[in-house]
């Protein structure tokens, strides 16, 4: 512990030693589990709000004005990254050795894991409203990284969503300014290159599906040229045109 603290102190302003390795490991896993559970809560809230016709992002923003006792988490198409989707299940596995069931954590994992399926179902419904079948539909996906402004696709829900859409017969292409190539991952082998966004390309698609809200995107450009925009991140909140936007 003293050696580790000395090493970290060379690059970190405030090192927090704990009693032993077990406490240190559980601290990290608890932090990731805390986020996973709260993201699951807002994802479930989003699904409920979709049925009620309420803007979940407006609700969260309003709740965030409370000066204490509330921490905003934001819904999305699913969880990604190396830590949050995986680490909580290390804890559930370990807990079974002690004859303990982590029901809360497992429920959160179930909700987050099913989000890509809800997105695909929402895409199908949005296309149906335009009298377009998902089978054969031309779809442009914006963003395959698991979160904005990074090039990390590990456990990205975008990959699962693309796989599900392709399995349903959709013709899917993607653009991601941070990921020029969709590289092979643990679960998917989709060797596809990012396409260049042009007005002609956007207009030629049956729908544009926003899965990662990178700052590099011009949302006014997207909404201006797309016939249908399906937004899973509230990225088009400030866009001038919204009549062709469906939020999921």
Residue 220 pLDDT:
98
Catalytic residue among 83, 161, 172, 210: 83
Q: Is-catalytic flag, 179?
A: no
- Give the predicted TM-score (pTM) of the model: 0.93
**Using CA atoms, how far apart are residues 46 and 54, in angstroms rounded to an integer?**
9
Q: Which residue in 244, 247, 153, 151 sits closest to 205, CA to CA?
A: 244
pLDDT per residue as tens digits for the range 66-95 = 999 999 999 999 999 988 999 999 999 999
pLDDT per residue as tens digits for the range 92-146 = 999 999 999 999 999 999 999 999 999 999 999 999 999 999 999 999 999 999 9
pLDDT per residue as tens digits for the range 170-187 = 999 999 999 998 877 777
E strands of 30-189, at which residues?
A: 138-142, 171-175, 181-182
Tell me the pLDDT band of 164, cut-offs 50, 70 and 90.
very high
Q: What percent of the chain has pLDDT over 90?
A: 91
Residue 153 pLDDT:
92
Cα first-last separation, the chain: 47
**Using CA atoms, how far apart are residues 83 and 199, in angstroms rounded to an integer?**
37
pLDDT per residue as tens digits for the range 28-58 = 999 999 999 999 999 999 999 999 999 999 9
């Amino acid at each position: 512990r003293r050696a580790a603290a000395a090493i970290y102190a060379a690059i970190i302003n405030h090192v927090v030693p704990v009693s032993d390795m077990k406490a240190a490991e559980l601290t990290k896993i608890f932090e990731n589990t805390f986020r996973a559970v709260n993201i699951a809560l807002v994802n479930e809230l989003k699904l409920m709000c979709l049925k009620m016709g309420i803007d979940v992002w407006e609700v969260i923003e309003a709740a965030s004005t409370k000066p204490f006792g509330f921490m905003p988490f934001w819904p999305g198409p699913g969880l990604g990254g190396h830590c949050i989707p995986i680490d909580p299940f290390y804890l559930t596995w370990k807990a079974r050795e002690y004859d303990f069931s982590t029901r809360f954590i497992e429920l959160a994992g179930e909700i987050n894991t099913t989000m890509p399926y809800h997105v695909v179902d929402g895409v199908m419904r949005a296309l149906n409203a335009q009298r377009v079948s998902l089978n054969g539909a031309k779809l442009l996906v914006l963003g395959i990284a698991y979160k904005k402004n990074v090039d990390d696709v590990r456990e990205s829900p975008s990959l699962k969503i693309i796989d599900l859409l392709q399995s349903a017969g959709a013709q899917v292409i993607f653009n991601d300014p941070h990921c020029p190539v969709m590289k092979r991952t643990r679960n998917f082998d989709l060797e596809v290159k990012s396409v260049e966004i042009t007005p002609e390309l956007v207009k030629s698609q049956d729908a544009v599906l926003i899965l990662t809200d990178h700052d590099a995107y011009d949302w006014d450009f997207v909404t201006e040229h797309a016939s249908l925009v399906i937004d899973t991140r509230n990225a088009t909140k400030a866009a001038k045109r919204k009549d062709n936007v469906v939020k999921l």
